[in-house]
Amino acid sequence: MRKFSFFIAFLLLAGNAWAVTYYVDQTGGSDLKNGQSTDNAWKTIDKVNNSTFYSGDSILLKRGEIWREQLTPPSSGNAGMPITFGAYGNGDAPILYGLDFISSKLTGWTNNRAGVYSVAYPGVTGRVTFDGSLLTQNKSTPTSPATGEWGWSGTRLYVGDKPTDHTVSAYLPKAGWVAHVTKKYIAFDGITFDGTSVLYDGIKFDTGSSYCIVVNCTIRNHTSYYDQTYASSGILVRKDSTGNTFRNNVFENNGTDPYSHNIYLAGTNNVFEHNEVSGSFGWGVQVYSADSVTSNNIVRYNYIHNNGAGSRGGGIVLDSGVGNMAYYNIVESNNYGITVDESSSGTGVYNNTIINSTRNGITLGVGSSTATVRNNIVFGSRLDNYLCNGCSDPTQDHNLLDGTNPLFVSSSDYRLQSSSPAINGGVAIVGMMSDYSGNSIKGLPDIGAYEFQGSVGVPKKPTNPTGLTIE
């Protein structure tokens, strides 16, 4: 995927000649310095949180460094001049980490019964490792973990193997969120947000936040609040946060319960595009608000795979509001593919390729009205490729849903062969000019996420459009 750092830099240079760049170096910095050069870098996120910034300013975190602090942007930018949190230097992306390291060698274990040991522990455990290997949390019977598991109950940590044979390390959740945004026109570029077992979400765009952008970031490993009383997300966008853009990011392994999400969009007019989304026990992308204000959100050009388990969860759910759309996505090997339900109307599901869903490919539930399902390929679902489960007034046409082989290039390459029945089988949809890979639509559109190009070469990643503005 192409990077967008150059574009944010262009916005800053063009918009504010007085913009200041600040540097943060966890290892070599000092909060007593002015932060305005790499030699005078600040040290902590706390220093950032308690400073004042102006439109066009950049706060750059040193690559290869880790901060175990919550980032709370203290100031808003303006249209075309966001306040940008990015990266500098060489190496891996800087990491904002949701766990605080507690101990590299826990001692004082009690043998409770055969194979189960416990130790006094100071709080809600976030992660436990044996010799550096991650154990699995047992939430249902925490005082009786099996081999390879841990549990926490009351004031004690339990493990299912003899701890004196291992180096046992443990971590505590550091904060409610890795980043908590209450300001407008904030940009995150090239940062890894590791939300492992923070109490709530990885990044929360809360009341007061709008017109923010997240690009080139990784949002990973948020494993949900330990007692499952909170439906956690890698990113949560509140219902009063609007006009945000999420582009060219990787979302992975956010959420370990059926009500969790890689990203949860409850606001309006948000755009989610060119992302890879995988590994949530719940939903990959959820668009929903209980009061149905979640409208005009766009989910497009994403690769969404391996989300959902059990009776819930899946790739994309468009579950309330008016005019939400999902188009030109690859939706592969999820529990459910795309679901529309819960007081939604005028929803559009266009030109998606939905493959190998464990349950249904496309589901329109009883809460769905006037949805349009058009130009989609749905193939290999274990239950129904398409199901109207009590939906009202749907429009369903120009799809490939009946089990006909779409003749993909291969079992892992979902472009079309020259003899595919999907070629020229679609109908034009206003405003949709390019396919998943950025190829122009010529003549009648093909069904599915790829437009046939006349020959089969190396598949391209989605091409990011130019001309992004934040306004």
- Per-residue pLDDT at 292 exceeds 50: yes
Token readout for 135 is 């154990």
**Predicted local distance difference test score (pLDDT) of residue 223:** 67
Q: Write out pLDDT tens, residues 343-367.
A: 999 999 999 999 999 999 999 999 9
CA atoms of 216 and 66, how far apart (whole Å):
18
Per-residue confidence at 466, pLDDT binned at 50, 70, 90? Answer: very low
- Range 406-430 average pLDDT: 97
Cα–Cα distances in Å, from 344 out to 58, 317, 354, 422, 457? 39, 11, 21, 29, 40
Helices (H) and strands (E) in the chain, counts: 2, 43
Alpha-carbon span 59 to 204, nearest angstrom? 19
**CA–CA separation, 324 and 276 (whole Å):** 20
**Mean pLDDT over residues 272-278, rounded?**
98
User: What values do phi and psi take at 164, rounded to 5?
Assistant: -70, -10
Please report, for residues 300, 385, 430, 440, the alpha-carbon distance to residue 436 in angstroms, rounded to integers and kept in the order given: 8, 21, 16, 10
Under 8 Å between Cβ of 309 and 334: no
Q: What is the pLDDT of residue 269?
A: 97
C-alpha span between 242 and 240 (Å, rounded): 6
pLDDT higher than threshold 50 for residue 468: no
Query: How much is the average pLDDT of 418-431?
Result: 97
Decide if pLDDT at 5 tops 90. no
Phi, psi of 259 (to 5 degrees): -100, 15
Mean pLDDT of 92-110: 79
Give the residue-averaged pLDDT of 114-125. Answer: 81
Over range 245-257, report the average pLDDT. Answer: 91
- Note whether 435 and 351 are within 8 A (CB): yes
Comparing C-alpha atoms, which of 275, 286, 343, 295 is closest to residue 315? 286
**pTM (two decimals):** 0.87
pLDDT, position 153: 85
Residue ranges per domain, the chain?
A: 1-89+181-196+206-224+237-252, 101-171
User: What is the pLDDT at residue 454?
Assistant: 86
| pLDDT score for 167 | 82
Task: Write down the mean pLDDT value for the chain.
Answer: 89
